[in-house]
Amino acid sequence: MDKEEDGYERSRRGMPWLALPYDGGDGAQSRALARYFDVREIPTLVVIGPDGKTVTRDGRNLVNLYFDMAFPFTEEQVRLLQELEDEQAKGYAPSLRHAGHRHELSVVSEKSGGGPYVCCECDEQGFGWAYQCIACGYEIHLRCGRDVEAGGAVGAGQ
């Protein structure tokens, strides 16, 4: 659905999944698929199962968040990954001072005020658990948390 092939190629190079070929000036194929799958933004990853049915329209977020662990993209797999994240989050400090920010950061989850974000430390997408500045919205992944007062990494996975 990109207007120009150069923009399409730049975007596609950074994607880990297959893409439809650029369909030139008319875009009839892209528009038809966009209507069918209710695509509202590009890029979008719609995961189709072996039976031809839509597994999820949220494939892009799932791949960005969970990489190959998102496969097979089922609700059950996503639930298991979220439970794993919830368990891992218990090993992180409830708050910290981050070198990249002046305010204290607190652990939040989707259930406690968190949500989709772009990590201010690594510029990657995040969802669910994060360290967040309540005052201004600065957010980082738990794994990117570095407590300047403690002098190092925070959490079991660091």
* Two tokens, residue 11: 């975007």
Per-residue pLDDT for 156 more than 50? Answer: no
In this structure, are 28 and 60 located in the same domain? yes
Q: What is the dihedral of CA 40, 13, 120, 130, to 10 degrees?
A: 70
> If you write DSSP's letter for every residue of 103-147 in order, what string do you get?
SEEEEE-GGGT--SEE-TTT--EE-S-EEE-TTT--EE-GGG-EE
Q: Of 24-28, 46-50, 132-136, which gets the smallest average pLDDT?
A: 24-28
| Number of separate domains in the chain | 2
Q: How many CB atoms lie within 10 A of CB 116?
A: 14
Is 150 among the domain residues?
no
Structural domain span for residue 39: 5-78
Is 157 among the domain residues?
no
How much is the average pLDDT of 62-71?
A: 84
How much is the average pLDDT of 31-60?
A: 87
pLDDT of residue 1: 75
How much is the average pLDDT of 85-104?
A: 89
